[in-house]
Each structure stands twice: as structure tokens, then as C-alpha cells.
Amino acid sequence: MNKTTKIYIAGHNGMVGSAVWRALSALGYTNLIGKSSKELNLRNQAEVNAFFTAEKPEVVVDAAAKVGGILANNENPYPFLMENLQIQNNLIDAAHNFEVEKFIFLGSSCIYPKYAPQPLKEDCLLTDSLEPTNQWYAIAKIAGVKACEAIRTQYNKDFVSLMPTNLYGSYDNFDLKSSHVLPAMIRKFHEAKKDNASVELWGSGTPMREFLHVDDMAKAVVYAVENTLEDNLYNVGTGVDVTIKELAHTIQDIVGHTGNVVWDSSKPDGTPRKLMDVSKLKNQGWQAEIDLKSGIANTYQWFLENQDSFKGKDAS
């Protein structure tokens, strides 16, 4: 790999894709390609094939996906399944047919069974049933992992899947109807801070979650771009988790909210625990660097600087 290698980052305007773009640019990569959804509809196979014909990327990073939290997944099962299948299938197939040298598929820790032994190892994939609230997204991502594995097995191509734990950071989604737990908490505590109002949060607060700053995720992608990994599937995380209540108190302290926190136990908790076993990628030479408090503080600062752009979007 050299600095002029043509690298296509699918989903380059999203939180993960933009972080990967920044990380590669900072290292001097000068031949990066990105197309907005208006410029290239990744759900359209003909458009994707035409793009690969014209641009001939040498490396593809698939950071494009339809994503959301428990509420969004519950209310929109079909698009979370079908749109993700369409996006990744078109990209994977085009990368294979147009002789792309390296393909990096990004997924999520939700691909693993709901009650898999902790910490989650890569080989527990498909050993039990999924968490019902996000099974649609998970099934799509599992299909992507297996497609990359099939190409790697049959054609000996460098197709690798990276499964991050819960991501957060700059350019996150702070829409209260579709965001994940950490950015949603940042916004809720911030908006309640002014009047010292109570903040209502879903569930019991007892589930444990692991959180990875998106800049660390981007560095993991860069590592996969610059190195040949031995296997097809790797977890990406910190290897450290906290309860949702601990997360809430951490965010509350950083934001400066001093009101009450009310837990609505009638709402679903999701998977009891999702801690990643990150030893496999660590043994390859990569590990996370950003601790949770520093990462949340950094994310809250980004939120403060960009909050005007979020106003009025929750009704869309």
C-alpha cells in the first residue's frame, strides 16, 4: 500500500466514514474517493457497477449502512434488513468482479447471539439466537461477513470484516428518535441542564455496554488497510465495559446536569451484556487508545459546537 493507492470510502459523510477519511488524510493518503448518496445510490446495482467501472478503486472501505438505536430498529425492521443487504451486496459483488485488491467490511457487535458467553469471541457467531430488537440489522451484517468470508475462502482475496462495539464521537447522530444510547444521553442531559429538569432514560440501567471512540475505530481501519490480517473476522473495541447507569452518571457529570435521572423500566434493556474479546486484533498489533471519559468530553465539545444543526430534525 502506498499513499497514492486509490481508496474508496463508502459512506464517507457518516460518522465512521468521515473519521476514516480524516485518519487516512492525516497520514498522507492523497487518492481518496467519496460519493454522497445523492451522487451514488448504493442500493442500485447498476449505479454501483458503473461507479466501479469508471473509478477502478484499489481498496474499498464499506462504512455505508442504515443505522439506528433500539427504537429505530423496532419500528423499521424491513428497511434495516433490506437496505443494508442491498448496500453491502452491491459493494461486495462489485469489489469482487472489478478485482479490488482489499475490501474492508464494517459491521457491529450485534451480530453475536444475545446470550453468548462474555467477552464475545469471533467464533461465537451463529451459535445461538440474536437480540430481537436489532435482529434485522444483525442478520444483514452477518450476511456481509459471510459473503466476505466466502470470497476470501474461494478466491483467496483480501476481504476482511471488522466488527466494532458501540461507536460514538464527532459527527454522531443526536436525533432522539434514531440515535444510539450515548449520543442520546448527551443531548438529553444537555437540554435538561438549563432548567435542571429530570432526565428520563430507557430500561433499568443495569445492562453493560462497551464504547469505542470513532477515531479509534478509524485507526483500526487504517491498520487493516496497511496490513494483511491473517483471518476474515475481527472484533474492534476497548475490552472494557460499563453499566448504562455508570455511563449516564459519567455523561451527566461531563455535561454539568444536576437534576434527577428517572429510569423507565417498562422500556426494553436489550442484550444484558456485550463486551468484546479484542485479543485477536490486539495480537495482530492494534489496540484502542482513547479512554471513555476523554472520548465523551471530546464528543460533548463537538456537540456544543454543532448543536444548531440538530434543531428541528427530530420530526423528520
In angstroms, what CA-CA distances link 291 with 170, 212, 214, 238, 297? 15, 8, 12, 8, 10
**Is 268 one of the annotated binding-site residues?**
no
What does the pLDDT read at residue 199?
97
**Is 256 one of the annotated binding-site residues?**
no
**Is 316 one of the annotated binding-site residues?**
no
CA distance 59 to 41: 19
**Is 269 one of the annotated binding-site residues?**
yes
**Is 160 one of the annotated binding-site residues?**
no
Bridge partners (DSSP) listed for residue 208: 243, 273
Please count the other Cβ atoms lying within 10 Å of the Cβ belonging to residue 164. Answer: 22
Q: Which helix (H) or strand (E) element contains residue 244? A: helix 244-255
Q: At the topology level of CATH, where does 7-169+211-239+274-290 sit?
A: Rossmann fold (3.40.50)
Bridge partners (DSSP) listed for residue 159: 103
Active site residues: 137
CA distance 125 to 123: 5
Tell me the pLDDT tens digit for each residue of 224-262. Answer: 999 999 999 999 999 999 999 999 999 999 999 999 999
CA distance 123 to 71: 29
CA distance 4 to 13: 21
Q: pTM of the entire structure?
A: 0.92
Domains in the chain: boundaries: 7-169+211-239+274-290
Q: Is the pLDDT of residue 13 over 90?
A: yes
In angstroms, what CA-CA distances link 26 with 16, 172, 222, 232? 15, 20, 11, 27
Average pLDDT over residues 122-147: 95
Torsion of CA 161, 72, 307, 309, to 10 degrees: 90
* Tally of CA atoms within 13 A in the half-sphere of 49 that contains its CB: 6
pLDDT category, 72, cuts 50, 70, 90? confident
Give residue 20's identity as a one-letter amino acid code.
V
